[in-house]
Structure 1
Amino acid sequence: MGEVKNAFFRRKALVLIILASILSGVLYFILGLINQPVGPVIQWDAGLGKYIEFDKPSKVTINRTFEYNGVNNYIVFQKVLATKFDVYVNGVLTASFGDGSGNLWPRALGVRIPGVLLHADKANKITVVLHGLVGVGLYGKPYLASYEDAIQRISLINVFRDKITLVGIGATGLIIYLLLIAYQSANEQEKKAYHYLIAASAFMILSLVQFTYRESSGAPELYLLFEEFSTTGPVFALTFLFFTVLTISTGDVSLNKKFKHILEAIPIVLISIAIFSTSVKYVHIVSTVSELYSLSLMFVILYFIFKHRIIEFYFPVIFLCLTGIQTFYALVSNQTNELTIHYGRFVFLVFTGTTIIRRFRELSISHEKLKRENLIDPLTGVYNRKVIDLIPKGGTFVLLDLDGFKALNDRYGHIYGDSVLKKFAEIVKSQVRSQDYFIRLGGDEFCLIFKSVKEDDVLKIVNRLYNDCRNLLGIGFSYGYAPFDTFDKAYEEADKKMYEQKMRKYAQNDKRIFS
């Protein structure tokens, strides 16, 4: 049996690994496809596809010439990394984006060149000026296209690169909201996991801000702050995700506290260096260290998930690692390929968040079931007296005791007596609403605590129950009632009334016997 389960687990794990690999490959293929030029490519000799770091705010100028065919008067720039971007055609400023204090990436930009500026009989000169605070880059292959083709392709690129990030931020925000709701009713271990995941989600949103379009953020200092937080945000996010996985798999007991404090301190040290450094070059150093450390953390998380066989995390973690490897390779090798890490981040977080919520929801249901079973009388299926401590004050307490049950039990045996108790419980349950409580106190003694019925109507219901029991069971019951304030007080008052009722019944029986 164990080998069959292991074989099934291995097959399922292999399917998830293949699925994550295929999805990663398909995503990379689609992003490459939408970035394929649909017109003549403008070839720059230098400065294209490379990120140029600055130690202080600066700019880079790139020149080239192109031929105009009378149709393609729209230039598509697939990816511009700058705070300000100027385009000159034949010496005339044709377009300008940004004001020097915001992030123009990751949107594709399009420039329409007025026909009066273009020469059909000779080469046209194009000059682009990239302004940046920490660095600039011109990626992809800028090309000429017709207006219709350019608008269509720019819209497509922006949907996959920019809009999808906003969707990811929204989904992550929703996960935080759901986690906060689930947190309220969680136990201590669950709360710890929720705490870590909420923190990871918040930093994940912060890191995704880098992948959104900010044409102007108001001031260069604010842009630098965005850059610093978005650079170190993934380290915070992955650290807390690691703690989340650890809490789920081992209860957070397998990690040495001192080592855990070190892991918590690393992202704080990195962001402190970036924020309080006097030179922009430290931002670049922190960025490189953060990328390497984040990649290492992803593989550590992957190791723990495989080690503890958390099968539901296989797909998102493998997908995250593949997108992380692709992005890291593209950055260090100055590739013009699309970066896919932001897809990996929010896919991982959404999958992880929903999985944890579902997992702990199942645990909560299981705990609730065990709790409920502990409060249920196994013979009759009604509440036992343990539930009384959980019932709020208010309502009417009714004490019930079957007439002549002891004699019936002695005469016909306990099995028959148990069947009578079961049938009695079924009769009463059919008349009681879900807001009310039907409880077996012990033996043939029961009580009803009415929450949904006015006190004036309680006696009507009890009398109806009495008649049903007489007709269906052949026996009745005695009862007493009292306001439900505390159980002891209500029981004492109801028991006194029930005793008086029993005495009246005995007296009536004696009269029948001697009459």
Structure 2
Amino acid sequence: MNNLLKKEDFYLIALGSSLISGVVIILFGKNISKKQYKRAYLYFGISILLISIYLFDYQFRLTSGNVVMFLTLKKIFLLSSYFSLFLYLMGIEQYVLGFFKSKWLNFAIFPIAFLIATSPNFSYYVRFSQIGNLFVLFLIIYTLIVIFAYKVERLYFSFTFLALCVAETIFGLLFDTFTEYDFLLGYGLITVFLGLSIKLTLDYKNIILENQYFYEKSLTDPLTGAYNREIFNSLNPAGYFVLIDLDKFKEYNDKFGHKKGDELLKGFVSFIKGRIRQEDLIIRIGGDEFVIITNAHEPEKFIERLRRDVYKELGIGFSYGMSIFNNFSKAYKVADKKLYNMKKNKSKL
């Protein structure tokens, strides 16, 4: 029995774990771009940090003899538990709905918190904390209803367990069967933070993947599958900037129709993707104007070979202008001038 984990050790481990979990969840939230989840992770992270503060009341006994310090710390621990549950509810509604729906609860928790925080002595503190405890009981029941109403399945067990722990504690106090070892509320809170930490950790990967998908989609031209010009905001300028314009594309469109013209553009991009290296980029600027970013050793030979292959495969040529890619505006200006000169020379033939 002596080798078993003592209750004090269990709470100390839970305290440390909740501190780490709270910080990690807040940091996770900073990596999420969508505000709905970003704010939810912040609320949840602070909620778990407040639980860790509340757990100090279980781990350490306030026996300094200083009544003022004792009362102050008891207020801090109690209010931490109240606001932890409140932020937990805020996090759930923010996570599911994208906003905090139950704002009306502010009119209850803040006045109660004010009364407790300003209690002049222990007698008033006990009196006001009893009112606060009734509010927390309501808050727990209300949050449990919200969890099931919004079908947050991964929180079913942990929060139901907390509700049962609260019921057991109230039963023990009402019928005078309460002992120190029957007090399960602390265990209920630990279960809640563990359940929440597991849920957020599992969901984090999916949220990041979803963010990455929509981010990449926002950088992709919907017609051809090439990158669009927004990609330049994310690039570190390097290599060669090759501006390409398909020859006589307008005539092709007029002769065969826009549907065939769109098919040609898609075929062109697909063909280029199959010929350039993995680190090279094909970007659609607009219409039949494209840019290839490449670090090819001999870029002119590389582009000339592409030009011949495109003509053989698709039956259409292209003109191009090349410049060093150190700044989009400057590179485009230089490349566009060279492109214009090539088109002008072709028209003379």
1:155 equivalenced with 2:3 (yes/no): yes
Contact preservation (8 Å) 1:305, 1:314: yes
Contact preservation (8 Å) 2:34, 2:211: no
Aligned residue in 1 for 2:54: 207
Tell me the secondary structure at the aligned position of residue 118 of structure 2. Answer: helix
Distance 1:172 1:429, change over 3 A: farther
Point out the structure with max Rg over C-alpha.
1
Q: Which amino acid aligns with 1:346?
A: I
> Structure 1: how far apart are the matches of 2:228 and 2:304?
23
1:318 equivalenced with 2:164 (yes/no): no
State the 1:357 CA deviation: 5.9
Deviations 1:456-480 (A, max 9, x none): 6543543443354345445442211
Tell me the secondary structure at the aligned position of residue 87 of structure 2. Answer: helix
State the 1:230 CA deviation: 2.7
Aligned pairs for 1:218-237 (under 5 A) are 219-221=64-66, 225-237=72-84
1:498 equivalenced with 2:302 (yes/no): no
Decide which structure has greater helix share.
Answer: 2
Q: Which amino acid aligns with 2:310?
A: C
Distance 1:272 1:354, change over 3 A: farther
> Structure 2: how far apart are the matches of 1:314 and 1:401?
59
State the 1:165 CA deviation: 2.5
State the 1:426 CA deviation: 2.2
Residue of structure 2 aligned with 1:193, choices 40, 53, 68: 40
Aligned residue in 1 for 2:286: 442
> Structure 1: how far apart are the matches of 2:255 and 2:73?
85
> Structure 1: how far apart are the matches of 2:311 and 2:203?
49
Q: Which amino acid aligns with 2:91?
A: T
Deviations 1:332-373 (A, max 9, x none): 424334322222212212323443565576456445534543
Aligned residue in 2 for 1:328: 170
Tell me the secondary structure at the aligned position of residue 155 of structure 1. Answer: coil
Identity within the alignment, %: 27
> Structure 1: how far apart are the matches of 2:278 and 2:131?
60
1:299 equivalenced with 2:141 (yes/no): yes
Deviations 1:412-460 (A, max 9, x none): 555554444333212322455666542112332211245xx38x65435
Aligned residue in 1 for 2:87: 240
Aligned pairs for 1:51-450 (under 5 A) are 153-156=1-4, 158=6, 161-184=7-30, 185-212=32-59, 214=60, 219-221=64-66, 225-252=72-99, 254-256=101-103, 259-273=105-119, 277-278=120-121, 280-285=122-127, 288-332=130-174, 333-336=176-179, 337-356=181-200, 359=203, 362=206, 365-366=209-210, 368-388=212-232, 390-392=233-235, 394-395=237-238, 396-408=240-252, 414-432=258-276, 436-450=280-294
Tell me the secondary structure at the aligned position of residue 12 of structure 2. Answer: helix
> Structure 2: how far apart are the matches of 1:251 and 1:409?
46
Q: Which amino acid aligns with 2:334?
A: E
Deviations 1:298-325 (A, max 9, x none): 1121122233343333222211111222
Contact preservation (8 Å) 1:242, 1:301: yes
Q: Which amino acid aligns with 2:116?
A: L
> Structure 1: how far apart are the matches of 2:163 and 2:293?
58
> Structure 2: how far apart are the matches of 1:407 and 1:203?
69
State the 1:281 CA deviation: 4.1
Contact preservation (8 Å) 2:23, 2:49: no
Contact preservation (8 Å) 2:44, 2:91: yes
Q: Give the gaps of 5 or more residues in structure 1.
A: 1-152, 511-515
Contact preservation (8 Å) 1:393, 1:486: no
TM-score (norm 1): 0.57
State the 1:204 CA deviation: 0.4
Contact preservation (8 Å) 1:207, 1:231: yes
Distance 1:178 1:330, change over 3 A: same
- Shifted more, 354-363 versus 440-449: the winner is 354-363
Distance 1:428 1:209, change over 3 A: same
Distance 1:242 1:406, change over 3 A: closer
> Structure 2: how far apart are the matches of 1:172 and 1:348?
11
Contact preservation (8 Å) 2:8, 2:58: yes
1:466 equivalenced with 2:312 (yes/no): no
Tell me the secondary structure at the aligned position of residue 2 of structure 2. Answer: helix
Tell me the secondary structure at the aligned position of residue 482 of structure 1. Answer: strand
Distance 1:369 1:414, change over 3 A: same
Tell me the secondary structure at the aligned position of residue 447 of structure 1. Answer: strand
Q: Give the gaps of 5 or more residues in structure 2.
A: none
Contact preservation (8 Å) 2:223, 2:266: yes
Contact preservation (8 Å) 1:200, 1:237: yes
Deviations 1:169-203 (A, max 9, x none): 23322332232223323444434333322321121
Distance 1:382 1:341, change over 3 A: same
Q: Which amino acid aligns with 1:498?
A: L
Contact preservation (8 Å) 2:33, 2:211: no
> Structure 2: how far apart are the matches of 1:434 and 1:341?
57
1:481 equivalenced with 2:325 (yes/no): no
> Structure 2: how far apart are the matches of 1:190 and 1:433?
37
TM-score (norm 2): 0.80
Tell me the secondary structure at the aligned position of residue 380 of structure 1. Answer: coil
Deviations 1:56-81 (A, max 9, x none): xxxxxxxxxxxxxxxxxxxxxxxxxx
Decide which structure has greater strand share.
Answer: 1
State the 1:387 CA deviation: 3.9
Deviations 1:249-304 (A, max 9, x none): 444454356x525423423432432xxx34x4445445544443322211121122
> Structure 1: how far apart are the matches of 2:115 and 2:304?
75
> Structure 2: how far apart are the matches of 1:319 and 1:439?
55
